[in-house]
Amino acid sequence: MSTFSFRTRPKASEEKSLAVSHLSRAITVNGVLDTDGELRIHGHVLGRVNAERLVIAPGGSVEGDVVATDALIEGRLNGRIFAINVTLESSAEITGRVFHNTITVARGARIDARMPWRPPSYFETLDQLPETRE
Amino acid sequence: MTMFNRSDKPADAPDTTRVQTPAPAPEPVRPQPVSQPMASAARPSSSTGVSVISRALKITGQLESTEDIRIDGEVDGDVRGVSVTVGNGARVKGTVYGDAVELAGTVDGKIEAKKVVLTGTARMTGDVVHQDIKIESGAFIDGHLKPEFGKSDGKSKAASTPRPVEVKQPV
């Protein structure tokens, strides 16, 4: 009985927590990354990123479009963010656009971007990204 | 004072709008994840070491690392690392390059590594170019095993045969 409760408890917590993928500082990815879990980028990504929760760590960089529910940017991003909750930390460097529903910007963040607000329904129907590049 | 009390709204009218306006902004879609990555990303230890492609991640494209890579998800493209582990249930469609490659999942393509380990759950479709290979019982291989790693193109970087000629010292 005791082993039963021991086994079920971690399993329940596993289901709640997202599968975490981690790209180290030394990695370069060229292409499309798609996950319904968490993705932490310490390295460099050239391409498109889809994640439930995205973290671009300090020193990490993404060149391309990013779609996420939660996005925490501490590194560099050249492209567009489509995320309901966006957090731009002081070490962030953003060039492009930040489509968001809620946003937090720390003092010191370098932002050269338009930051349009969108209702949550906008992000649910985001199968195809709009063409906003100019 | 009169400036702020615009026109002549009834006293209860602002109350109803105030109650209703916060409602259409349903921000608590997933409120708790916001604080979590902040704490976890602050860990400096996570910036180094192995890259993990989790079960939930699919990559279409190339991966290149000067460190280790562990793949539990799906990669449609080439993978290049120092030590590359393709876990049980993972799938790679492309070439896996590395110093050491351990395969417990599926590779549809090619493996090029100095040291190759195919575990009992490995499923390899394609050639394996190696210098040193270990195959456990249960591994599936449909392809050629070629003990040619470092013999054709990797001659210059082959560290296994240190020749005295290579020892050049600045004069």
What's the gap in Å between the CA of B135 and the closest CA on chain A?
28
Indicate the range of A28-37, A100-109, B37-46 predicted with least confidence. B37-46
Residue A15 located in a structural domain = no
Residue B57 located in a structural domain = yes
The residue ranking higher by pLDDT, B122 or B43, is B122
Residue B134 located in a structural domain = yes
Residue B20 located in a structural domain = no
How many folded domains does chain A comprise?
1
**pLDDT at position B150, please?**
83
Residue B130 located in a structural domain = yes
Residue B29 located in a structural domain = no
**pLDDT at position B111, please?**
96
**pLDDT at position A132, please?**
67
Domain that holds residue A94: 25-124
Does the pLDDT of residue A111 top 80, yes or no? yes
Indicate the range of A61-75, A83-97, B39-53 predicted with least confidence. B39-53
Residue A116 located in a structural domain = yes
As a whole number of angstroms, the distance between CA B1 and CA B94 comes to 72
Does the pLDDT of residue B28 top 70, yes or no? no
A9 touches chain B (CB under 8 A): no
Contacts of A70 in chain B (CB under 8 A): 30, 33-34, 37
How many folded domains does chain B comprise?
1
As a whole number of angstroms, the distance between CA B60 and CA B58 comes to 7
Domain that holds residue B57: 50-143
Residue A58 located in a structural domain = yes
**Contact call for B47 and A69, based on CB within 8 A:** no
Residue A132 located in a structural domain = no
Residue A52 located in a structural domain = yes
Contacts of B38 in chain A (CB under 8 A): 72, 87, 89
